[in-house]
Amino acid sequence: MADAGGRLLLPQEIIRRKRDGEVLSAVEIDDFIDGVVSGAVSDAQLGAFAMAALLNGLDRAETVELTRAMTRSGATLDWSGLPGPTVDKHSTGGVGDTVSLLLAPALAACGAFVPMIAGRGLGHTGGTIDKLEAIPGYRTRPDLGVLRRVVREAGCAIVGQSAEIAPADRRLYAARDVTGTVESLPLITASILSKKLAAGLAGLVMDVKCGSGAFMTGIDEARALARSLIDVASGAGLPTVALITDMDQPLAAVAGNALETLHAIEILAGRRSDPRLLEATAALGGEALALGGLCASAGEGAARIRAALSSGAAADRFARMAAALGGPSDLVERPRVHLAAAPATLPVVPMRRGVVAGVDTRALGLAVVSLGGGRTRAEDEVDPAVGLEALAGIGEEVGPDRPLAVVHARDRATGERAVETVRAAYRVTEAGGAAERRPIVLERLS
């Protein structure tokens, strides 16, 4: 096939043009994405395209067209018959980011409907779908009929991409994870929004992470991504608000799939608290409720989210969702019976007593990957049991009686290597020293 200018639309020619910094036409982008879905574009070509896009960028028009092409590559959902708005949240990825497991059921308890199409881990960050796959029997890729039923009955369904939803993104997502191209702003934008547009949402809240554990480490980079997401989403008719949130330390006190799922369930059940995680959840949920017209302001919405979490209403929605998608019916009551536990646990004792003054959060995420809790190749299996627990936060006193973390490993040798990585990721100063703790929400953009 050739475009209007007579150029052959071979995948390698499209890659070459982007490699050389040229602007791709809508026809070229559409043809390339068609090839991604049909299999005409190989994995090697997909990785080369992602690298060319990372190095030379895509302009706004290219990003919009890539997003539209990826959305059109599969089915789109229609929720017009529901008695409430369809809203969602998406995070750009971090360490210990367990918000989705709390927020989706809390939004449902407040009258919203949440068809959340989530992703797997990328690079050093954890993935919501990997966390849910730690639940025995939980189906993360139901057919669209099951998805529609669960959303109507439970109010929320957190699932991965089915074969019908944005299939082009599923291949590109996997390629980015293993080719060092995760940080490409246009590819992040198109990946996120193609799934959200296909989900048929009425409102979207973006959680753009910023800090040492985020893909966008600096505030200017985070603003640029937030602006890109808002502009492309709004241009496609999806009202969107973005919060830039802190990822200079893990959001929760745990990192790892079964550990984070257990952590979320214990919070939902009222058996545990995590102030930073709850603050982020309430802020994002408040924005979503306001976008959906279920409250007058984000502040009012945040209060409603907190009430849904503390009352047990969100826990009920989570239990209904998990059971409807094949999980155990008593998951909320007895999570430790069902979630895998690692056989080896090792404390990470600091070299000296003091106060945590800084954390290389990315290094902590990579420690989880090294334990088997993430992927270095697209085909890698993930060990749900491994990870880090009791992570010390900035400003906390640590010492022999309060370790920096506890490593959960498949065997002692692997665990000891992770202990050294985790210890090196922390900066500890003398007790009484200053430790700068940033607020959870750094900025709001709309």
Catalytic residue among 124, 139, 171, 196: 196
DSSP character string of 145-159? HHHHHHHHHHSEEEE
Q: Which of 124, 170, 195, 362 is catalytic?
A: 195
> Which of these is catalytic: 89, 171, 209, 408?
89
Produce one character per residue of 239-257: b if its CB has 16 or more CB atoms within 10 Å, e if not. bbbbbbbbbbbbbbbbbbb
From the list 131, 148, 171, 176, the catalytic residue is: 176
Calpha distance 195→206 (Å, rounded) = 13
Is-catalytic flag, 89? yes
Active site includes 195?
yes
Catalytic residue among 91, 92, 261, 421: 91
Active site residue 91: yes
Q: Give the CA distances from residue 437 to residues 6, 153, 279, 358, 442, in Å, rounded to whole numbers and listed in that order.
A: 57, 41, 14, 9, 12
Q: Is 9 exposed, middle or buried (0-12, 13-18, 19+ CB in 10 A)?
A: middle
90 is catalytic: yes
Locate all alpha helices (DSSP H) within 252-388, ordered by sequence: 257-268, 275-291, 298-311, 313-324, 335-338, 361-368
Q: Which of 25, 86, 92, 128 is catalytic?
A: 128
Rounded distance between C-alpha atoms, residue 353 and residue 368, angstroms: 25
Query: 354-359 and 344-348 as β-strands: parallel, antiparallel, unpaired?
Result: unpaired
Number of helical (H) and strand (E) elements in the chain, helices listed first: 17, 12
88 is catalytic: yes
Q: Which of 67, 100, 191, 261 is catalytic?
A: 191
- Angle between the N-to-C axes of helices 43-56 and 185-198, in degrees from 0 to 180, rounded to the nearest 10: 120
* Cβ count within 10 A of residue 223: 18
Measure the CA–CA gap between 251 and 253, rounded to whole angstroms: 7
CB 373 within 8 A of CB 415: no
Q: How far apart are CA 209 and CA 228, in angstroms?
A: 14
Catalytic residue among 88, 97, 246, 316: 88
Q: Could you tell me the CA-to-CA distances from 354 to 361, 404, 428, 433 in Å, in that order?
A: 19, 11, 6, 8
CB atoms within 10 A of CB 224: 14
Q: Are strands 203-210 and 87-91 parallel, antiparallel or unpaired?
A: parallel
SS3 category, 255: strand
Catalytic residue among 72, 90, 276, 338: 90
Please give the Cα distance from 315 to 104 (Å, whole number): 10
Catalytic residues: 88-91, 128, 176, 191, 195-196
